C-alpha cells in the first residue's frame, strides 16, 4: 500500500493525529499521541509513505516525522519517502 500524506495537515497535535488515523486507517483505539503512532506504524505491513509539503509544515510535523523514521527502522515493511 502507498500513502501520500500532506505534512501541512500535521501542524497541531490534535489535527495531526485525526488526519493520520484516517489516512492510515488506524483502529478506533488509536491513542492520538506519538507513542500510539509509533506502535501502530510498527504494526503496518508493506506500507510506503510519502510526505508532501514537508518544507511548509510546522513544528509538530517534525516530531511526527521523527516517529515515522524511528518506526521505519523497527518495521521492515514500512518505507518512508
Instruction: Return the CATH number at 8.
Output: 3.30.370.10
- Those residues whose C-beta lies under 8 Å from the C-beta of residue 62, and which sit 6 or more positions away, are none
73: confidence class by pLDDT, cuts 50, 70, 90: very high
Domain span at residue 51?
Answer: 2-80
24: confidence class by pLDDT, cuts 50, 70, 90: very high
pLDDT for position 72: 98
Report how many domains make up the chain.
1
What's the per-residue H, E or C state across the chain?
CEEEEEHHHHCCHHHHHHHHHHHCCCCCCCCCCHHHHHHHHHHCCCEEEEEECHHHCCHHHHHHHHHHHHHHHHCCCEEEC
Q: What is the pLDDT of residues 30-52, one digit of tens each?
A: 999 999 999 999 999 999 999 99
75: confidence class by pLDDT, cuts 50, 70, 90: very high
**Start-to-end CA span in the chain (Å):** 13
pLDDT for position 13: 97
Amino acid at each position: 500500500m502507498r500513502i501520500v500524506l500532506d505534512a501541512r495537515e500535521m501542524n497541531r497535535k490534535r489535527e495531526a493525529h485525526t488526519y493520520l488515523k484516517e489516512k492510515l486507517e488506524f483502529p478506533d483505539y488509536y491513542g492520538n499521541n506519538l507513542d500510539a503512532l509509533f506502535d501502530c506504524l510498527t504494526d503496518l505491513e508493506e506500507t510506503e509513505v510519502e510526505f508532501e509539503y514537508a518544507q511548509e509544515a510546522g513544528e509538530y510535523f517534525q516530531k511526527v516525522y521523527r516517529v515515522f523514521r524511528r518506526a521505519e527502522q523497527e518495521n521492515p515493511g514500512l518505507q518512508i519517502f
